């Protein structure tokens, strides 16, 4: 059969065909480069020897720098881990992305991350994280195929974050790369330079007088392993490599020992090294001022991708290629933890890139000419210049916050995957105070900050009395210092002074009535000590402030369990797991609850799950030992309790259970050995009155048994 087609139809078909080709080509293909971002937590720029070789040698980071571009003056947006990394991964300043501290915040799912963007262009995406502040529950896992954040469990009252060493993170990252057949984007986060400074040998001995630098030297050696793998696998030349830090470390400059307080260059000036594929732009040094928000758009530009409209950073490619400076701009920075944690004056500021002037907004404002005084030793401001830069800062903040209102909708519980309170406390409660005087200025209050750190240092070394004395002096002067109230109560609890701990929490609440973190910690304390009714009351007060924290629901679960309301307890534990489905502590508590009601199958199921997530969780090991004992597997139970003492020599129940089981089996000498070990480890200083009574009773039984058998 013959068909005649009119010319107009042929033209229409051709036109549609061409349109379809145009539409199809709109999704631009990214260059086939790999992208690797390595962030070294708490790394000052002057601890990379390319920047300053007087402290520590970093030959392996240097080697990447010599193959690429070194930015001499890169600045973080905030000297705090989570918000700074959020700026790196979104290209947004903190007021826009809304993450202002290490806890109480989560990255809004509406905000585009670099991983999500590269995923659209068919990159495999993997992240390997060194410590808890970047746990997936805070939302930076968006767009990653693999987000490895398995560190074990963390007691919220512990002094430091749970972390894993760089060698483990690098091992995981290399293993992931070995399986890649596609182009990839990998982010590696190495936490080691963060306090406490405890590098492995030989760095611990070599840098015994500067352990912070020892941590940096160790991390450098681990980066070498990754770079060697990329070279041996033929991927180095085809990979865009970025090495930077989220923030620096005070190390005593301006009176700041660590970070997350001031925003001087000691904590916001960071290294930034970019090694380009095919050896492009090799050995280039750039002295223009740039921000970490510029990383996202620079990656896009180098890959040939459109820079998303919402990104606030600028591509550095024209600066690198042609020396063309970005348009006149100001780099925004902030440090809000002192405001969020204590109600002290908020710190915000800007750097005038063109004039190299830095303005810090505080009740006592500061202005520095960084071209002449990069270490910020001389405040050169006067009333006129302060007003000029404060006005500019207010305009910038208003613009950023307005944008945030549009993009950062309140995230409800069902949208949140994970959230947990941290050692660096912050609260969603807004302080009613909006006007600040010189007495609220962080420079005036730094002695109290350092006094707190001194007290916490003594606590970490086991000098509880001295620590309590110092911390008590701090809260006498500033009753809004929430972190210190919590630490005082925790030390009292650890030393068995339960009534004094309760009085401390009540005093803290008197001065900080609606502070979520005090309510949460007090409620957990009450639940742990079987004061269930008061615990439920306090925790429900906390729930009215934040209802999406798994720690809150876990503590409520314990309180309802101890009060005999099992159905409510199960509801609360399940709620906690819906917010954090790999929370080993919740599974451990569920298992212990079922064990207390002799429901052995459910107990075993939950305890196994807890130990699968965290094999070293002592509460789960203890309960599983008790379960094995109930089943008559005494030798296996003993192994679990002995393992606990290798992990935590202060865990009371392991000693008690071992003494009891040896006493029951007639092995009195072994029971006495465990008792003497408890005595040697000063366990009795930590016992509550009830625990002391239990220990005295079991020791008296042991004495009688020993006398009868001699």
Q: All domains of the chain, ordered by start, with CATH? A: 34-400 (3.40.720.10)
Q: Is the pLDDT of residue 158 over 90?
A: no
Provide the CA 380 distance to its chain's centre, in angstroms: 36
d(CA 344, CA 337): 9
Q: Is the pLDDT of residue 431 over 50?
A: no
**3-state class percentages of the chain: helix first, strand second, coil last, to nearest 5:** 55, 10, 35
Structure tokens at 609: 């799950």
Q: Is the pLDDT of residue 687 over 90?
A: no
Digit-coded pLDDT (tens) for 595-644: 999 999 999 999 999 999 989 999 999 999 999 999 999 999 999 999 99
Longest dimension (CA), the chain: 116
The answer to whether the beta carbons of residues 54 and 45 sit under 8 Å apart is no
Burial (CB count within 10 angstroms: exposed 0-12, middle 13-18, buried 19+), residue 78: buried
What does pLDDT average to over the chain? 89
Q: Which of the two residues, 350 and 152, has the higher pLDDT score?
A: 350
d(CA 166, CA 217): 11
Burial (CB count within 10 angstroms: exposed 0-12, middle 13-18, buried 19+), residue 476: exposed
Q: Which of 33-47, 212-226, 264-278, 427-441 has the lowest mean pLDDT?
A: 427-441
Structure tokens at 364: 């006592």
The answer to whether the beta carbons of residues 153 and 162 sit under 8 Å apart is yes
Mean pLDDT of 565-594: 94
Burial 326-351 (b: 16+ CB within 10 A, else e): beebbbbbbbbbbbbbbbbbbbbbbb
pLDDT (0 to 100) of residue 258: 93
Beta bridge pairs of residue 126: 146, 186
Place of tokens 């960071």: 270
pLDDT (0 to 100) of residue 157: 45
Tell me which residue of 84, 445, 41 sits closest to 254, measured CA to CA. Answer: 445
Entry field: residues in the chain:
710
Q: Which of the two residues, 420 and 94, has the higher pLDDT score?
A: 94
The answer to whether the beta carbons of residues 253 and 267 sit under 8 Å apart is no
The answer to whether the beta carbons of residues 312 and 297 sit under 8 Å apart is no
Q: What would you report as the CA-atom Rg of the chain, rounded to the nearest whole angstrom? A: 28
Tell me which residue of 516, 493, 496 sits closest to 504, measured CA to CA. Answer: 493
d(CA 685, CA 494): 9
Give the Cα-Cα-Cα angle 54, 57, 63 (nearest 5 degrees): 125
d(CA 425, CA 452): 14
Q: Which of 105-109, 283-287, 558-562, 633-637 has the lowest mean pLDDT?
A: 105-109
Place of tokens 């006005």: 391
Digit-coded pLDDT (tens) for 520-550: 999 999 999 999 999 999 999 999 998 888 8
d(CA 653, CA 641): 9
- Measured N-to-C along each axis, helices 600-613 and 618-630 cross at an angle, to the nearest 10 degrees, of 150
Question: Could you give phi then psi for residue 375, rounded to 5 degrees?
Answer: -85, 5
Up-side HSE of residue 160: CA atoms within 13 Å toward CB?
Answer: 17
Instruction: Say what percent of the chain tops pLDDT 70.
Output: 90
Q: Per-residue confidence at 689, pLDDT binned at 50, 70, 90?
A: confident
Q: Which of 136-140, 183-187, 288-292 has the lowest mean pLDDT?
A: 136-140
* C-beta atoms surrounding 687 within 10 Å: 18
Up-side HSE of residue 223: CA atoms within 13 Å toward CB?
Answer: 30
Q: Is the pLDDT of residue 115 over 50?
A: yes
pLDDT (0 to 100) of residue 10: 41
Q: Per-residue confidence at 160, pLDDT binned at 50, 70, 90?
A: low
DSSP 263-296: -SHHHHEEEEEEEPGGGTTTTEEEEEEEEGGGHH
Q: Which of the two residues, 343 and 310, has the higher pLDDT score?
A: 310
d(CA 603, CA 72): 57
d(CA 83, CA 293): 11
Q: Is the pLDDT of residue 135 over 90?
A: no
DSSP 158-183: SSS--B--HHHHHHHHHHHHHT--S-
Give the Cα-Cα-Cα angle 246, 250, 335 (nearest 5 degrees): 60
pLDDT (0 to 100) of residue 161: 65
d(CA 153, CA 383): 51
pLDDT (0 to 100) of residue 152: 62
d(CA 638, CA 200): 32
Q: Is the pLDDT of residue 24 over 90?
A: no
Digit-coded pLDDT (tens) for 353-400: 999 999 999 999 999 999 999 999 999 999 999 999 999 999 999 999
Q: Which of the two residues, 70 and 133, has the higher pLDDT score?
A: 70
Structure tokens at 452: 């707190």
Instruction: Say what percent of the chain tops pLDDT 90.
Output: 74
Q: Is the pLDDT of residue 2 over 60?
A: no
pLDDT (0 to 100) of residue 105: 84
pLDDT (0 to 100) of residue 1: 39
pLDDT (0 to 100) of residue 154: 54
Burial 567-592 (b: 16+ CB within 10 A, else e): ebbbebbebbbebbebbbbbbbbbbb
The answer to whether the beta carbons of residues 88 and 102 sit under 8 Å apart is no
Digit-coded pLDDT (tens) for 668-686: 999 999 999 998 988 888 8
The answer to whether the beta carbons of residues 98 and 108 sit under 8 Å apart is yes
Q: Is the pLDDT of residue 708 over 90?
A: no
pLDDT (0 to 100) of residue 566: 94
């Amino acid at each position: 059969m013959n068909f005649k087609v009119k010319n107009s139809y042929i033209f229409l078909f051709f036109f549609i065909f061409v349109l379809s080709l145009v539409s199809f080509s709109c999704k631009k293909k990214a260059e086939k480069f790999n992208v690797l971002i390595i962030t070294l937590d708490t790394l000052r720029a002057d601890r990379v020897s390319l920047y300053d070789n007087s402290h520590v040698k970093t030959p392996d980071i240097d080697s990447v720098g010599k193959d690429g571009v070194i930015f001499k003056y890169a600045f973080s947006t905030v000297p705090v881990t989570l918000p700074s990394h959020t700026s790196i991964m979104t290209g947004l300043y903190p007021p826009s992305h809304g993450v202002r501290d290490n806890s109480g915040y989560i990255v809004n799912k509406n905000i585009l991350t670099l991983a999500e963007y590269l995923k659209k262009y068919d990159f495999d995406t993997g992240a390997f994280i060194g410590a808890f502040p970047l746990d997936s529950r805070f939302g930076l896992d968006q767009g990653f195929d693999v987000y490895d954040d398995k560190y074990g469990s963390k007691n919220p009252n512990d002094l430091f974050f749970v972390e894993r060493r760089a060698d483990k993170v690098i091992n995981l990252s290399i293993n992931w790369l070995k399986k890649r057949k596609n182009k990839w984007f990998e982010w590696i986060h190495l936490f080691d330079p963060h306090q406490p400074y405890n590098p492995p040998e030989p760095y611990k001995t070599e840098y015994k007088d500067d352990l912070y630098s020892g941590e940096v030297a160790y991390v450098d050696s681990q980066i070498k392993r990754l770079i060697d793998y990329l070279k041996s696998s033929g991927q180095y030349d085809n990979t865009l490599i970025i090495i930077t830090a989220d923030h620096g470390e005070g190390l005593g400059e301006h009176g700041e020992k660590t970070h997350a307080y001031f925003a001087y260059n000691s904590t916001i000036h960071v290294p930034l090294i970019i090694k380009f594929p095919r050896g492009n732009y090799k050995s280039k040094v750039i002295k223009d001022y740039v921000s970490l928000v510029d990383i996202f758009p620079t990656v896009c530009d180098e890959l040939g991708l459109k820079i998303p409209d919402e990104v606030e950073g600028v591509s550095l490619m024209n600066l690198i290629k042609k020396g063309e400076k970005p348009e006149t701009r100001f780099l925004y920075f902030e440090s809000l933890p002192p405001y969020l944690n204590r109600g002290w004056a908020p710190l915000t500021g800007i750097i005038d890139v063109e004039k190299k002037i830095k303005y810090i907004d505080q009740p006592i404002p500061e202005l520095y000419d960084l071209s002449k005084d990069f270490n910020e030793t001389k405040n050169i401001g006067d009333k006129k210049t302060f007003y000029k830069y404060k006005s500019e800062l207010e305009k910038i903040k208003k613009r950023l916050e307005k944008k945030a209102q549009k993009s950062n909708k309140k995230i409800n519980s069902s949208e949140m995957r994970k959230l947990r309170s941290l050692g660096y406390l912050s609260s969603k409660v807004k302080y009613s105070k909006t006007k600040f005087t010189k007495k609220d200025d962080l420079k005036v209050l730094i002695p109290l900050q350092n006094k707190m750190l001194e007290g916490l240092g003594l606590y970490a070394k086991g000098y509880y009395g001295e620590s309590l004395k110092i911390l008590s002096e701090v809260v006498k002067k500033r009753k809004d210092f929430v972190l210190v109230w919590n630490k005082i109560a925790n030390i009292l609890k650890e030393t068995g002074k339960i009534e004094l701990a309760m009085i401390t929490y009540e005093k803290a609440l008197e001065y900080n009535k609606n502070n979520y973190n005090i309510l949460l910690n007090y409620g957990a304390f009450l639940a742990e000590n079987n004061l269930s009714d008061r615990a439920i009351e306090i925790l429900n007060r906390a729930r009215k402030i934040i209802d999406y924290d798994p720690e809150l629901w876990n503590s409520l679960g314990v309180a309802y369990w101890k009060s005999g309301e099992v159905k409510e307890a199960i509801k609360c534990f399940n709620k906690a797991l819906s917010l954090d489905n790999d929370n080993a502590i919740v599974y451990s508590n569920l298992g212990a609850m079922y064990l207390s009601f002799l429901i052995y199958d459910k107990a075993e199921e939950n305890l196994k799950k807890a130990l699968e997530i965290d094999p070293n969780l002592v509460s789960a090991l203890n309960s599983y030992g008790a379960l094995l004992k109930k089943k008559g597997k005494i030798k296996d139970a003993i192994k679990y309790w002995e393992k606990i003492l290798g992990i935590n020599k202060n865990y009371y129940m392991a000693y008690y259970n071992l003494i009891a089981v040896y006493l029951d089996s007639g092995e009195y000498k072994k029971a006495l050995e465990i008792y003497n070990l408890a005595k040697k480890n000063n366990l009795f200083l930590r016992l509550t009155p009830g625990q002391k009574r239990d220990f005295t009773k079991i020791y008296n039984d042991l004495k009688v048994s020993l006398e009868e058998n001699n």
